[in-house]
């Protein structure tokens, strides 16, 4: 018989798949002897079966639930119906991968019209009892019966202002009783049924609702964003309640063992007295810094510090801990590895190594590749900031970044405007899980309520999105769509700039500058490099990009695209002269001019590379890309080339291709116009030799694109080598260079053995190889690829993540065969997939030498290669 429910005593941290992260960690903390209220967990398997079998709890699960409840009652000596010892529980969701704020939780379950009186009597605190009941009515209504939370909240807030109560906790017992009565009517009006009075009915319906919530929109969006599979399901934890809302000796809070924004090794947390559950996170009242707890309840603070330290040592990573204090008794309700900013992630990883808690390899695994990419985001320019008008300076720096954009006041508008291409900044008093899609669409998020652990802050940090919370010096009015700040007002569509690192908001757009990288970043990247086996090169051709790539740790250039160099006005006209000339002589004249330009380019590039390898790809795109398109342009080209308009048009028409991507491009250009590649090779080697005379031993690697047969390659190779040899004699100097090919047709893969004997290197061009293997045109795939993914025909977009089964197999075979006949051949990947984390995990298993990607993806790719190496495993070379 399958075991669907585990008591906390039966679980442990390693059982995350089954018990979810929250359940497994609650069990683990109990094992460690920490003060955790008792409970039990319904497994993720129960969830998946529930969802797959008509959304009904099976008899087996129900039976087990009754058994567990009975045992639980015995352990706690409490029950739902006991006047002496009343049992109240929380029902908490928790998947294997934490999804903060995404899933549902219900507190104080077990209360009803009768039990609330018992609770009031037992605790001698009617206010407290009815506060618990109104919370249950709200949470249960929203989660189980889909009653909009706003219906409860609006009434609650109106009630508060009607009687001028500042805080929730100021509402007296009668008030809360009245609110409960109102809430029960909301059930009748909205759900057409009363709030269920029977605790066991409440419990079953709550469990079912949590399972169901795995399927709701916001959970789906979050999973998509974080690539969390549907099939893992969520567990449900049933846990005895402890009460943070039972007076001023009680409270609830959240703390991180280290600062989640900066990474500083100091406890960082917030709490509220006389509050329950999500009050801190929801940003209803601005919470207190955990430092104040030292004064308010010194021994609880002391005890908490110890627990925090113990948990961090145990999990070997920064922890995000939820706790509740009931009458000065500390309870720990959750721990997990804390979400953090990219900077903090690096800082913490470096500190943990230096503190001797983890190894370098573990450190490499502790930082998400996504974080590295975020670190390269720009900051505001200091001078520009100085000159800018500040709107708010009271906000908290919840998640760093520098963003400018139009103000919007709702998630829907954010989404809509972003879809139209606008940069938007979402401004809300506070955010809630319903806002998730709007948050994704925005460049930054600003709230007036809530602290560093509020929903907005935590979710934004998880997304790596700029966020400022608690801007108490401005007012956000979402009804009138207005922001009031000390010196004026703003309307929807006005532009502001948000400094997430400082927590400041400015008027208008503020100029940005490149990110500066910390010493920790350098240290961490150094470790990644030590751990990694694959090299990372960059795809780049402009000096700025190349310099950036080298600063980011690239080991060379994996792809210089020469076609980009032909688009400057003067060069373009020579290129056009070349294409549109009838005689070889004219073509060579035009080429000689182009060659001068190319030499300058190559010299700059090779000089920047120094002794690091640089692959230069000879001209690849179809010629018509260089031709004039508009009539105006054609007239001007005709004049420049001294031909008649009709002659030019005629010639252009003759170059027209039905399917240019499969047409006259790549090495086929040089088969028809050999002088083209010869000129380029000559320019490369001349530049290299010139640099050699200056003492720079550069390493150009000349790459012939789109090869699909050996003789195609050998024909061009012979011409190029012949030219280079003559050059060497002329200049009385020998050049270091390699000659290889780009592997981007399936045929090239099939003949890898023979081709490899002729080549010094192979470089996989995964874009074309994917296009040609599937026969999908990359430019048209948008029309059908979504349908493929919706229908589960493809589970990835093969242009973004390597198709392991097909293209991956080609790459594997080709690599193995090439290395077996030519062990010194260098093999790399230079297509888009060279920078993709999941693709890199596969590439790392092959006998490849490097991956290459755009400069800004280099650090992320470097970390990917290191992580892949730690995870290990290499496919066997036959
Ligand atoms: P989330 O996954 O959104 O963090 P949780 O299940 O952790 O949701 O519940 C949210 C909050 O509810 C907790 O941080 C805690 O403050 C409160 N809570 C949950 N269970 C209990 C309990 N048994 N006693 C007291 N408070 C609880
Ligand atoms: Mg929650
Ligand atoms: Mg929680």
In a domain, 60, yes or no: yes
Answer with the one of 656, 681, 700 that is the final residue of a domain.
656
How far away, in angstroms, is 208 Cα from ligand 3 center? 19
Do both 65 and 183 map to the same domain? yes
Do both 683 and 775 map to the same domain? yes
How far away, in angstroms, is 810 Cα from ligand 1 center? 50
Closest CA to 762 of 745, 742, 739: 742
Provide the domain limits for residue 271. Answer: 247-340
* pLDDT above 50: residue 473: yes
Instruction: State the helix-helix crossing angle for 44-52 and 16-31, rounded to 10 degrees.
Output: 150
Structure letter (DSSP) for residue 281: T
Q: From atom 6 of ligand 1, which residue's Cα is the shortest distance away? A: 92
Q: State the sign of the Cα–Cα–Cα–Cα dihedral 182, 184, 186, 188.
A: negative
* pLDDT above 90: residue 627: no
How far away, in angstroms, is 334 Cα from ligand 3 center? 6
- How far apart, in whole angstroms, are the C-alpha atoms of residue 172 and residue 114? 19
Q: From atom 3 of ligand 1, which residue's Cα is the shortest distance away? A: 101
Pocket probe for ligand 1: among 90, 91, 216, 283, the residue whose CB has the most ligand atoms within 8 Å is 90
Do both 336 and 398 map to the same domain? no
Pick the ligand that lies closest to the CA of residue 98: 1
Average pLDDT (273-284) is: 78
CATH number, domain containing residue 171: 3.30.1490.20
- How far apart, in whole angstroms, are the C-alpha atoms of residue 391 and residue 97? 38
SS (H, E, C) 500-551: CCCCEEEECCCCEECCCCCHHHHHHHHHHHHHCCCEEEEECCCHHHHHHHHH
The answer to whether the beta carbons of residues 809 and 770 sit under 8 Å apart is no
How far away, in angstroms, is 104 Cα from ligand 1 center? 10
In a domain, 353, yes or no: no
Q: Which tens digits make up the pLDDT trace of 535-582?
A: 999 999 989 889 989 998 999 999 999 987 887 778 888 889 888 887
Model pTM score: 0.79
Average pLDDT (614-624) is: 93
Q: From atom 15 of ligand 1, which residue's Cα is the shortest distance away? A: 277
Alpha carbon 25 to its chain centroid, in Å, reads 25
Q: Which helix (H) or strand (E) holds 346?
A: helix 342-354
- Non-local CB neighbours of 315 within 8 Å, separated by 6+ positions: 13, 335, 337
SS (H, E, C) 74-135: HHHCCECCCCCCECCEEEEEEECCCCCCCCCEEEEECECHHHHHHHHHHHCCHHHHHHHHHH
* pLDDT above 80: residue 100: no
Do both 790 and 689 map to the same domain? yes
Beta strands in 267-338 (DSSP E): 268-273, 288-289, 319-326, 329-337
For the chain, give the percent of residues with pLDDT over 70: 99
Q: From atom 18 of ligand 1, which residue's Cα is the shortest distance away? A: 277
Q: Which two tokens stand for residue 219?
A: 């959970």
How far away, in angstroms, is 97 Cα from ligand 2 center? 14
Q: From atom 17 of ligand 1, which residue's Cα is the shortest distance away? A: 277
- How far apart, in whole angstroms, are the C-alpha atoms of residue 390 and residue 385? 9
What is the band of 392 on the pLDDT scale with cuts at 50, 70, 90?
very high
Which atom of ligand 1 is least distant from the CA of 39? 23
The answer to whether the beta carbons of residues 188 and 217 sit under 8 Å apart is no
Predicted confidence at residue 869, as pLDDT, reads 95
Which atom of ligand 1 is least distant from the CA of 252? 16
- Non-local CB neighbours of 57 within 8 Å, separated by 6+ positions: 46, 50, 65, 204, 207, 208
Q: Looking at 285-294, 310-319, 808-817, which range is the least confident one?
A: 285-294
What is the band of 878 on the pLDDT scale with cuts at 50, 70, 90?
very low
- How far apart, in whole angstroms, are the C-alpha atoms of residue 719 and residue 467? 59
* pLDDT above 80: residue 793: yes
Q: Angle CA(404)–CA(410)–CA(414) in degrees, nearest 5?
A: 50
- Burial bucket for residue 808 (CB in 10 Å: 0-12, 13-18, 19+): buried
Answer with the one of 656, 680, 707 that is the final residue of a domain.
656
CATH number, domain containing residue 323: 3.30.470.20
Predicted confidence at residue 874, as pLDDT, reads 59
- Residues written for the chain: 878
Pick the ligand that lies closest to the CA of residue 93: 1
* pLDDT above 50: residue 755: yes
The answer to whether the beta carbons of residues 507 and 487 sit under 8 Å apart is no
Pick the ligand that lies closest to the CA of residue 104: 2
* pLDDT above 60: residue 272: yes
- How far apart, in whole angstroms, are the C-alpha atoms of residue 801 and residue 795? 10
- How far apart, in whole angstroms, are the C-alpha atoms of residue 324 and residue 242? 7
Which atom of ligand 1 is least distant from the CA of 93? 6
Q: State the sign of the Cα–Cα–Cα–Cα dihedral 50, 54, 56, 61.
A: negative
What does the buried/exposed string (b/e) look like for 450-487 if buried means 16 or more CB atoms within 10 Å of the residue's CB? bbbbbbbbbbbbbbbbbbbbbbebbebeeeebbbebee
Closest CA to 40 of 2, 84, 92, 99: 92
- How far apart, in whole angstroms, are the C-alpha atoms of residue 394 and residue 322? 26
- Pick from 379-383, 842-846, 854-858 the range whose average pLDDT is largest: 842-846
In a domain, 465, yes or no: yes
Q: State the sign of the Cα–Cα–Cα–Cα dihedral 289, 295, 296, 298.
A: positive
Predicted confidence at residue 310, as pLDDT, reads 98
The answer to whether the beta carbons of residues 28 and 332 sit under 8 Å apart is no
Do both 327 and 198 map to the same domain? no
Which atom of ligand 1 is least distant from the CA of 323? 16
How far away, in angstroms, is 280 Cα from ligand 2 center? 11
Average pLDDT (586-597) is: 91
- Burial bucket for residue 791 (CB in 10 Å: 0-12, 13-18, 19+): exposed
Predicted confidence at residue 626, as pLDDT, reads 86
- How far apart, in whole angstroms, are the C-alpha atoms of residue 248 and residue 768? 67
- Pick from 410-424, 566-580, 583-597 the range whose average pLDDT is largest: 410-424
In a domain, 363, yes or no: no
Do both 852 and 836 map to the same domain? yes
Domain tally, the chain: 5
Do both 101 and 175 map to the same domain? yes
* pLDDT above 70: residue 347: yes
**Whole-number average pLDDT of the chain:** 92
Measured CA to CA in angstroms, residue 124 lies from 179, 190, 419 at distances of: 20, 33, 56
The answer to whether the beta carbons of residues 552 and 570 sit under 8 Å apart is no
How far away, in angstroms, is 100 Cα from ligand 1 center? 11
What is the band of 497 on the pLDDT scale with cuts at 50, 70, 90?
very high
- How far apart, in whole angstroms, are the C-alpha atoms of residue 862 and residue 550? 12
Q: Which tens digits make up the pLDDT trace of 162-192?
A: 999 988 889 999 999 999 999 999 999 999 9
Do both 674 and 582 map to the same domain? yes
Pocket probe for ligand 1: among 333, 433, 453, 454, the residue whose CB has the most ligand atoms within 8 Å is 333
Alpha carbon 667 to its chain centroid, in Å, reads 38
What is the band of 873 on the pLDDT scale with cuts at 50, 70, 90?
low
The answer to whether the beta carbons of residues 96 and 20 sit under 8 Å apart is yes
Q: Which two tokens stand for residue 261?
A: 């924004």
Sheet containing 288-289: order of strands: 288-289, 268-273, 251-256, 319-326, 329-337
* pLDDT above 80: residue 53: yes
Facing residues of 495 across strands? Answer: 406
In a domain, 479, yes or no: yes
CATH number, domain containing residue 407: 3.50.30.10
Predicted confidence at residue 875, as pLDDT, reads 54
How far away, in angstroms, is 23 Cα from ligand 1 center? 12
Predicted confidence at residue 283, as pLDDT, reads 62
The answer to whether the beta carbons of residues 867 and 364 sit under 8 Å apart is yes
Which atom of ligand 1 is least distant from the CA of 105? 6
In a domain, 565, yes or no: yes
Structure letter (DSSP) for residue 779: T
Specify the 3-state DSSP secondary structure of 458. Answer: helix
- Count of Cβ atoms closer than 10 Å to residue 324 Cβ: 24
In a domain, 521, yes or no: no
Average pLDDT (434-450) is: 91
Do both 159 and 284 map to the same domain? no
Q: Would you name the residues annotated as active-site residues? A: 455, 830
Pocket probe for ligand 1: among 8, 105, 135, 213, the residue whose CB has the most ligand atoms within 8 Å is 105
Pocket probe for ligand 1: among 26, 92, 103, 135, the residue whose CB has the most ligand atoms within 8 Å is 92
Which atom of ligand 1 is least distant from the CA of 37? 23
Q: Looking at 182-191, 272-281, 289-298, 395-404, which range is the least confident one?
A: 272-281
Which atom of ligand 1 is least distant from the CA of 334? 7
Alpha helices in 382-492 (DSSP H): 382-387, 411-419, 436-441, 455-463
Q: Looking at 104-113, 295-304, 377-386, which range is the least confident one?
A: 377-386
Pick the ligand that lies closest to the CA of residue 234: 1
Pocket probe for ligand 1: among 142, 218, 278, the residue whose CB has the most ligand atoms within 8 Å is 278
Predicted confidence at residue 675, as pLDDT, reads 93
- Non-local CB neighbours of 224 within 8 Å, separated by 6+ positions: none
* pLDDT above 90: residue 399: no
Do both 335 and 384 map to the same domain? no
- How far apart, in whole angstroms, are the C-alpha atoms of residue 15 and residue 8? 11
Q: From atom 16 of ligand 1, which residue's Cα is the shortest distance away? A: 277
Do both 783 and 802 map to the same domain? yes
- Non-local CB neighbours of 865 within 8 Å, separated by 6+ positions: 528, 532, 533, 534, 536, 840, 844, 851
Q: Which tens digits make up the pLDDT trace of 499-538?
A: 998 899 999 999 988 777 789 999 999 999 999 999 999 9
- How far apart, in whole angstroms, are the C-alpha atoms of residue 648 and residue 628? 10
Q: Which two tokens stand for residue 247?
A: 């007076």
% helix / strand / coil in the chain, to the nearest 5? 50, 15, 30
Q: Which two tokens stand for residue 360?
A: 């370098």
* pLDDT above 70: residue 876: no
- How far apart, in whole angstroms, are the C-alpha atoms of residue 397 and residue 374? 16
Closest CA to 458 of 430, 492, 497: 430
- How far apart, in whole angstroms, are the C-alpha atoms of residue 83 and residue 122? 8
Predicted confidence at residue 282, as pLDDT, reads 67
Average pLDDT (736-759) is: 98
Closest CA to 411 of 449, 437, 429, 448: 437
What is the band of 21 on the pLDDT scale with cuts at 50, 70, 90?
very high
Pocket lined around ligand 1, Cβ cut-off 6 Å: 37, 90, 92, 101, 105, 107, 239-242, 252, 277-278, 322, 324, 333-334
Average pLDDT (224-246) is: 91
Structure letter (DSSP) for residue 374: H
In a domain, 368, yes or no: no
Q: Angle CA(178)–CA(179)–CA(180) in degrees, nearest 5?
A: 90
Do both 598 and 638 map to the same domain? no
Q: Looking at 38-52, 215-229, 319-333, 670-684, which range is the least confident one?
A: 215-229
How far away, in angstroms, is 35 Cα from ligand 1 center? 15
Answer with the one of 224, 246, 268 that is the final residue of a domain.
246
Residue linked to tokens 């230069």: 616
* pLDDT above 80: residue 319: yes
Pick the ligand that lies closest to the CA of residue 36: 1
């Amino acid at each position: 018989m399958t075991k669907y429910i585990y008591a906390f005593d039966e679980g442990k941290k390693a059982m995350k798949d089954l018990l979810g992260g929250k359940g497994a960690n609650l069990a683990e903390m109990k094992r460690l002897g920490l003060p955790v209220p008792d409970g039990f967990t319904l497994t993720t398997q129960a969830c998946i079966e529930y969802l797959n079998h008509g959304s009904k709890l099976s008899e087996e699960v129900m039976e087990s639930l009754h058994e567990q409840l009975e045992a639980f009652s015995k352990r706690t000596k409490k029950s739902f119906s006991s006047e002496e010892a009343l049992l109240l529980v929380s029902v908490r969701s928790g998947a294997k991968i934490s999804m903060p704020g995404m899933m549902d939780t219900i507190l104080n379950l077990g209360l009803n019209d009768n039990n609330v009186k018992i609770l009031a009597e037992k605790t001698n605190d009617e206010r407290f009892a009815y506060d618990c009941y109104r919370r249950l009515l709200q949470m249960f209504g929203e989660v189980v019966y889909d009653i909009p939370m706003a219906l409860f909240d609006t009434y609650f807030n109106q009630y508060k202002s009607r009687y001028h109560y500042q805080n929730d906790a100021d509402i007296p017992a009668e008030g809360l009783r009245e609110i409960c009565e109102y809430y029960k009517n909301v059930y009748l009006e909205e759900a057409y049924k009363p709030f269920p009075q029977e605790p066991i009915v409440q419990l079953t319906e709550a469990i079912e609702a949590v399972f169901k919530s795995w399927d709701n929109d916001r959970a789906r969006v979050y999973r998509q964003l974080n690539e969390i599979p549907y099939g893992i399901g969520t567990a449900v934890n049933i846990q005895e309640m402890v009460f943070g809302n039972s007076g001023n000796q009680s409270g609830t809070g959240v703390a991180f063992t280290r600062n989640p924004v900066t990474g500083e090794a100091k406890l960082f947390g917030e709490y509220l007295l006389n509050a329950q559950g999500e009050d801190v996170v929801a940003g209803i009242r601005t919470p207190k810094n955990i430092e104040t707890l030292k004064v308010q309840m010194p021994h609880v603070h002391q005890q908490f510090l110890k627990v925090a330290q113990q948990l961090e040592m145990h999990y070997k990573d920064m922890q995000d801990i939820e706790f509740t204090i009931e009458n000065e008794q500390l309870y720990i309700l959750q721990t997990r590895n804390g979400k953090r900013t990219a900077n903090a992630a690096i800082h913490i990883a470096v500190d943990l190594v230096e503190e001797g808690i983890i190894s370098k390899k573990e450190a490499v695994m502790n930082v998400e590749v996504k974080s590295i990419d975020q670190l390269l985001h720009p900051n505001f320019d200091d001078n520009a900031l100085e000159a800018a008008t500040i709107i708010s300076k009271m906000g908290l720096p919840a998640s760093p970044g520098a963003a400018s954009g139009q103000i919007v006041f709702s998630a829907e508008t954010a989404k809509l405007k972003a879809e139209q291409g606008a940069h938007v900044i979402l401004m809300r008093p506070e955010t809630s899980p319903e806002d998730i899609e709007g948050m994704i669409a925005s460049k930054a998020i600003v709230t007036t309520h809530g602290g560093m652990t509020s929903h907005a802050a935590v979710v934004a940090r998880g997304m790596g999105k700029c966020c400022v919370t608690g801007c108490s010096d401005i007012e956000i009015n979402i009804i009138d769509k207005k922001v009031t700040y000390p010196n004026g007002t703003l309307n929807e569509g006005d532009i502001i700039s948000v400094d997430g690192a400082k927590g400041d908001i400015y008027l208008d757009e503020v100029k940005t500058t490149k990110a500066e990288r910390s010493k920790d970043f350098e240290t961490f990247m150094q470790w990644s490099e030590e751990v990694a086996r694959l090299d990372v090169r960059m795809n780049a051709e402009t000096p700025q990009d190349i310099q950036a790539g080298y600063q980011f740790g690239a080991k060379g250039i994996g792809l210089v695209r020469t076609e980009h160099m032909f688009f400057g006005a003067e060069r373009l006209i020579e290129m056009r002269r070349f294409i549109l000339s009838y005689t070889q002589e004219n073509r060579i004249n035009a080429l000689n001019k182009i060659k001068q330009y190319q030499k300058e380019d190559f010299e700059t590039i090779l000089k920047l590379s120094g002794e690091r390898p640089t692959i230069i790809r000879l001209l690849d795109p179809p010629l018509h890309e260089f031709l004039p398109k508009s009539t105006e342009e054609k007239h001007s080209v005709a004049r420049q080339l001294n031909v008649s308009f009709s002659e030019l048009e005629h010639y252009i028409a003759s170059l027209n291709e039905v399917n240019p991507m499969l047409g006259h491009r790549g090495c086929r250009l040089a088969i028809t116009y050999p002088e083209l590649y010869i000129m380029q090779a000559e320019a490369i080697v001349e530049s290299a030799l010139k640099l050699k005379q200056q003492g720079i031993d550069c390493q150009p690697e000349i790459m012939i694109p789109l090869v699909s047969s050996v003789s195609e390659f050998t024909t061009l190779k012979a011409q190029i080598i012949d030219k280079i040899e003559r050059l060497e004699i002329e200049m009385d100097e020998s050049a270091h260079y390699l000659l290889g090919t780009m592997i981007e047709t399936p045929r090239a893969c099939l003949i890898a053995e023979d081709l490899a004997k002729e080549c010094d290197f192979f470089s996989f061009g995964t874009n074309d190889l994917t296009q040609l293997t599937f026969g999908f045109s990359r430019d048209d795939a948008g029309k059908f690829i979504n349908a493929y993914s919706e229908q589960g025909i493809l589970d990835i977009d093969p242009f973004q993540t390597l198709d392991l089964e097909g293209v991956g197999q080609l790459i594997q075979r080709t690599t193995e065969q090439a290395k077996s006949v030519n062990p010194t051949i260098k093999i790399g990947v230079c297509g888009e997939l060279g920078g993709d984390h999941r693709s890199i995990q596969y590439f790392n298993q092959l006998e490849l030498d490097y991956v290459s990607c755009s400069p800004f993806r280099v650090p992320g790719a470097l970390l990917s290669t290191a992580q892949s190496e730690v995870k290990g495993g290499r496919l066997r070379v036959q």
